[in-house]
Structure 1
Amino acid sequence: MPHSVAVIGGGIGGLTAAHELIERGFDVTVYEAGDRFGGKARSMPVTEGPAAGADPLHCEHGFRFFPAFYEHLPETMARIPFEPTGGTVADNLVSTSETLVAAADGSCEQRRTAELDEQSWWEFVDATERSSAFRRRIATITQALVALRPRRASARTMGTIYLQLLLGQLDPTEPTEHILNGPTSTVWIDPWIESLAEQGVDFRTGAAASDLRLGRRGRRIDAAIIDGEPVDADDYVLAVPAEVAPDVLSERAKRADPQLARIERLDTAWMNGIQFYLSEDLPLVAGHQVYTDSAWALTAISQRQFWNDEVFDVGARGDPAVEGVLSVIVSDWSTPGSRVAKPARECTPEEIKTEVLAQLGDHLNREGERLSEDLIHDWVLDPELEPAEVGVENNAPLLINTAGSLKNRPSASTGIENLTLAADYVRTNSDLASMESANEAGRRAANDVLERSGVRAAPATVYELTEPGVFDPLKLHDRMRYRLGRPHQGDAIRRLLPSGPTGRPAD
């Protein structure tokens, strides 16, 4: 009989593990607590209002984007057939050419791991001593990326990802970033599920895990308890979010492998979206929009211009009056708004909508009205946000890479013989909590299962991040200094300057 694997969690990490394992002859079942696969990446049909209907428009947790440094995810997508065009879902990635930035007003690896992960991004860029413009553009951009306040963000993670984003912008041979040419589930997740099911993966929805039951010796999982019933498999891949994993892992499991106990120390934040369905298409710019002076750290994209009408025709879905889709992400849920004077998390859905439109208008309508209330035909807040006694509660927070968090992130391989992990909190080369990191974690999990099983097959490819070779001599020099216990040379230079790295006083 084929080696059986139970994948618990149907997000990007779990689906990637299932993909790699089914291609290598394993018997794979994926258990998902919700009613749709894809985790935070999925899109969902609108169920109420003008955007709904027999053939509804889609809403989403937040828009997807694929920076140039992503390698794992595009390679997986290139192996997923897309029947409407006869190609693959990778063909549904389209490049952007612009970014709207709107305003209303060389360390070695050892040092990065040991020192920079313990330092905040705010400290690393010396933001306190820099101008307010610098703080808005450089220091606080972490919130636009990962809903993470710069005073808490890991300098190691943010520096690494900044470099990768910069390389993508400077390389003339590759697009800076890609986005999808339709709603995520339509052009990626659903075809992925269909392809894996055709290959033999068994998918179960509404299947929530409550425990991974250890055997008497405490070295192996005897069964996963899913919907109150035991599920037996040769191997188990845990692919649930960081805030869910501690509830599934028993105290015995955490004692068997202490790294599992540290998962609960990881932090999450809110980064959720709202979609506006417009009576008139509003392209604004051929790419993403960053609203640098918005109290709620807004980013957005006008999607209709990128969507393929042959795959997903906005005009033929929901209410025919809908001509455009503006997808907005709110990354700061703790700062009072400019109109409602409350943090987003304390607002009603209606108040969130009103405040987001006001903040967008402050940026877009400075030289004439571009976005007005009259254009809003319908709107949908991320369904993972539910009304609460005060404001809303979030059922899908985002893992954040805080300073010092690396030591709490486990490897894909665990100290339990038949348990491996596949989620964005796993240690990966991609590092930042993202679809790319989850995909890499899924590959690492599949390789761990493959190695233990004795099945003869090539392992899934795991890519290294690429950095400019021109910095290699500097990194080698710093590696020698680090081994000798000496600080980075930049630290010495910093101390000689009157006010931070540029010598320019803050305003």
Structure 2
Amino acid sequence: MSDSPLTFTRRTALRAGLAAGAALAVAAPTSAATPGPRSPLLRTTGKTVAIFGGGMAGLSAAHELIERGYDVTVYEPAHLGGKARSLGVPGTAGPGRQDLPGEHGFRFFPGCYRNVPDTMSRIPFPGNPNGVLDNLVRVEGTVAGFENTAPIFLPVELGGVTQLTPQVIQNSIIGALRFIPDLPAHELAFFAKQMTMWFTSSTERRFGQWEYVTWEQIMRAEGKSPAYRKYLVNALTRITVAAKPQTSSARTIGTIGEALVLAGTGLVPEFSGGVDRILNRPTNAAWIDPWVAYLRSLGVRFVIGQGASALRLAGGRIESATVSGTGGTTTVTADHYICAMPVDRVVDLLSPAILDADPRLAGMRDLVTDWMVGIQYFLRRPTHMPEGHIAALGSPWALTALRQAPMWVGDFAATYGDGSVVECLSVDISDWDTPGLRYGRTAKECGAEEIATEVWAQLKTWLNTGTDWLRDEDIHSWHLDPGITWSADGIHNATPLLVNTVGSYDNRPEAHCAIPNLYFGGDHIRSHIDLATMEGANESGRAAANAVLDSADDPGSRATRFPLVDLPVFAGAKAVDADRFRAGLPHLLDL
């Protein structure tokens, strides 16, 4: 008889112990001053590094290594910045103006991010004492929209929290979510209790139990009201991390949920800057271009239009790499090789010889990716919505949005387009597999025009009750992420992101592997935030750089990997839970 997903016996605890023990290495912070442990494997003492991938992970690794005197070349097949980049919409600029600003999707920088802000503070920007970091602006509120119901403007931070205890956390969650319509009070209280259970769960239980159940299971969605299932379990999960609560690891969702709640209290010094921040101009102008320019000034070389297509293993180490793209195919040799590519491209490099050298890498083939892609609407009239993020809670395509023009420096109409566009409403589509309202089809079953029409229709249904915020006649044009393409065999997405399905932590690699001069970076690498985010990718680049330093026997300092906060106030409850978990007993609140 198999174990129920939420019933843990002594046998289950023993089986899960390996996962919990392996996870503790990631949970512990890495010192910036002390080199990591030496590997008994072959050493690689040279200092030339080839980085394949110029997204967040690749740029972060390049940053840490060039500052420590390494010879770094980054190979990027498409665009530096990866999914974090912005891009102009070609052909839309009028005289003296820039192209309208398009992007993969709007991004925000929660106060729980620590690695990304540290990197930003080390990138010079004219007039900014703290470099690119000073281009972040604080968001004070968000618009919550419901189907055919008047939208609500809410503060993003938890008000009135003066101390952090399990009871205060529980009460604060209840107070913050009272606005949800048709939600029974006892179910809201139950949700808050389950979140408190997460806050007081031990590391052993998080990695040994919660990793192996879904968020829907830990929140006991079965039998609850439609509002509980639609908003608390599904909508809050999808708009935050583009993850399906029916398949996502409860540990991953709980980790980011805890961090956001703590950031929202304003009481955690490490989570400074507010729960929600955005850039004050397009991402490339505010961050990526200054970053690339700074790295170039330090000596990093960028080869654009070329990506790794094969790795050659000889004598127990990587001897060379084949790169292909514009300009044909060439061979690259270096002392160290970092694969900072999306996981769906990394697996193509895992030859039988590489998997024989480190069989653990085969787990990457079982990781799952999903879609979260953006569309921008350029408007001739301001929407007059409050400044901040917009969440269409319960919308079929899990839409979130951001009014960008009011929070950007300068006059939008005078800077971009033909002068008639005054507003950019940037929208993220987080669910591509649920039928929409207008056509009754999923986003993956629609063409570009249909996607634009369907998204606009859902936004109007969720935001226009009692308002005239969104008017058809105000649309000047729209721009869908060019990574979405169509061919004879259907729709394609060039930029999927990892989703943390149940048990997927076991299949995710560390930055280093058994091959002493091969390393990995990207949102699929194990990290503290443990989610497909800029923060996780940035930390993975730091981890890859540290692995290079370890392999080279470098005596210098290591890049700091900033952990999430583990508050002492919960230590006693976690210690009790650790004992219960080892004894095969459930959490005290898991009733």
Instruction: Indicate whether the TM-score tops 0.5.
Output: yes
Matched with 1:458 is: 557
- Asked if 2 retains the 8 angstrom alpha-carbon contact of 1:430 and 1:465, the reply is yes
Candidates 212, 236, 244, aligned match of 1:149 = 244
User: Could you say what secondary structure the match of 1:490 adopts?
Assistant: coil
Matched with 1:367 is: 466
Cα deviation digits, residues 166-194 of structure 1 (max 9, x gap): 11111167411111001111110010000
Distance change (3 Å), C-alpha of 1:2 and 1:415: closer
Q: Distance in 1 between the 2:112 and 2:566 partners?
A: 10
Return 5+ residue gaps in structure 2 as ranges: 1-44, 149-199
User: Could you say what secondary structure the match of 1:371 adopts?
Assistant: coil
Matched with 2:392 is: 291
Q: Distance in 2 between the 1:392 and 1:45 partners?
A: 23
- Asked if 2 retains the 8 angstrom alpha-carbon contact of 1:146 and 1:271, the reply is no
Distance change (3 Å), C-alpha of 1:375 and 1:31: same
State the Cα RMSD in Å.
Answer: 1.8
Structure 1 residue 322 corresponds to structure 2 residue 421: yes
Matched with 1:282 is: 383
Q: Distance in 1 between the 2:137 and 2:278 partners?
A: 5
1:485 deviates by 2.4
Aligned positions, number: 487
Matched with 2:369 is: 268
Cα deviation digits, residues 354-391 of structure 1 (max 9, x gap): 11110000012111322011111011001100123476
Candidates 208, 217, 223, aligned match of 1:114 = 208
Candidates 444, 455, 458, aligned match of 2:543 = 444
Return 5+ residue gaps in structure 1 as ranges: 495-507
Q: Distance in 2 between the 1:29 and 1:47 partners?
A: 29
User: Could you say what secondary structure the match of 2:440 adopts?
Assistant: coil
Runs in 1 of length 4+ with deviation above 6 angstroms?
A: 50-54
- Asked if 2 retains the 8 angstrom alpha-carbon contact of 1:276 and 1:379, the reply is yes
The one-letter amino acid of 1:415's match is A
1:50 deviates by 6.8
1:468 deviates by 3.2
- Asked if 2 retains the 8 angstrom alpha-carbon contact of 1:47 and 1:53, the reply is no
Candidates 259, 280, 300, aligned match of 2:401 = 300
Cα deviation digits, residues 454-473 of structure 1 (max 9, x gap): 22311001112103322111
User: Could you say what secondary structure the match of 1:37 adopts?
Assistant: coil
Structure 1 residue 32 corresponds to structure 2 residue 83: no
Distance change (3 Å), C-alpha of 1:281 and 1:109: same
Q: Distance in 1 between the 2:521 and 2:440 partners?
A: 40
Q: Distance in 1 between the 2:464 and 2:108 partners?
A: 26
Candidates 348, 353, 357, aligned match of 2:456 = 357
TM-score computed with the length of structure 1 as normaliser: 0.93
User: Could you say what secondary structure the match of 1:487 adopts?
Assistant: coil
Cα deviation digits, residues 89-128 of structure 1 (max 9, x gap): 1010001000111111511001111111110000000011
Distance change (3 Å), C-alpha of 1:68 and 1:54: closer
Cα deviation digits, residues 114-147 of structure 1 (max 9, x gap): 1111100000000113222122222112211222
Matched with 1:47 is: 90
1:487 deviates by 2.3
1:52 deviates by 11
1:84 deviates by 5.9
Matched with 2:253 is: 158
Matched with 2:313 is: 214
Q: Which moved more, 1:222-231 or 1:128-137?
A: 128-137
Q: Equivalences for 1:324-473 in 2 at 5 Å?
A: 324-389=423-488, 392-473=491-572
Q: Distance in 2 between the 1:13 and 1:267 partners?
A: 19
Matched with 1:129 is: 223
1:222 deviates by 0.2
Distance change (3 Å), C-alpha of 1:230 and 1:251: same
Q: Equivalences for 1:2-13 in 2 at 5 Å?
A: 3-13=47-57
- Asked if 1 retains the 8 angstrom alpha-carbon contact of 2:338 and 2:518, the reply is yes
- Asked if 2 retains the 8 angstrom alpha-carbon contact of 1:255 and 1:261, the reply is no
- Asked if 2 retains the 8 angstrom alpha-carbon contact of 1:214 and 1:221, the reply is yes
Q: Which moved more, 1:13-22 or 1:389-398?
A: 389-398
Q: Distance in 2 between the 1:50 and 1:120 partners?
A: 47
- Asked if 1 retains the 8 angstrom alpha-carbon contact of 2:97 and 2:414, the reply is no
User: Could you say what secondary structure the match of 1:149 adopts?
Assistant: coil
- Asked if 1 retains the 8 angstrom alpha-carbon contact of 2:237 and 2:245, the reply is yes
- Asked if 1 retains the 8 angstrom alpha-carbon contact of 2:384 and 2:469, the reply is no
Distance change (3 Å), C-alpha of 1:283 and 1:404: farther
Matched with 1:501 is: none
Distance change (3 Å), C-alpha of 1:469 and 1:136: farther
User: Could you say what secondary structure the match of 1:273 adopts?
Assistant: strand
Q: Which structure ranks higher in relative contact order (CA pairs < 8 Å, sequence separation ≥ 6)?
A: 2
Q: Distance in 2 between the 1:78 and 1:283 partners?
A: 33
Q: Distance in 2 between the 1:182 and 1:264 partners?
A: 37
Candidates 88, 93, 98, aligned match of 2:136 = 93
Q: Equivalences for 1:52-63 in 2 at 5 Å?
A: 55-63=98-106
Q: Distance in 2 between the 1:174 and 1:180 partners?
A: 13
- Asked if 2 retains the 8 angstrom alpha-carbon contact of 1:51 and 1:378, the reply is no
User: Could you say what secondary structure the match of 1:14 adopts?
Assistant: helix
Candidates 115, 133, 140, aligned match of 1:72 = 115
Q: Distance in 2 between the 1:183 and 1:37 partners?
A: 14
- Asked if 2 retains the 8 angstrom alpha-carbon contact of 1:51 and 1:277, the reply is no
Q: Distance in 2 between the 1:102 and 1:53 partners?
A: 38
User: Could you say what secondary structure the match of 1:81 adopts?
Assistant: coil
Distance change (3 Å), C-alpha of 1:84 and 1:282: farther
Distance change (3 Å), C-alpha of 1:190 and 1:164: same
User: Could you say what secondary structure the match of 2:343 adopts?
Assistant: coil
1:15 deviates by 0.3
Q: Distance in 1 between the 2:431 and 2:474 partners?
A: 25
Identity %: 43
Structure 1 residue 169 corresponds to structure 2 residue 169: no
User: Could you say what secondary structure the match of 2:519 adopts?
Assistant: strand
1:285 deviates by 2.2
The one-letter amino acid of 2:254's match is G
Matched with 1:244 is: 345
The one-letter amino acid of 2:348's match is D
Q: Distance in 1 between the 2:94 and 2:496 partners?
A: 25
Q: Which moved more, 1:279-288 or 1:338-347?
A: 279-288
- Asked if 2 retains the 8 angstrom alpha-carbon contact of 1:65 and 1:177, the reply is yes
Matched with 1:253 is: 354
Q: Which moved more, 1:452-461 or 1:236-245?
A: 452-461
Matched with 1:233 is: 334
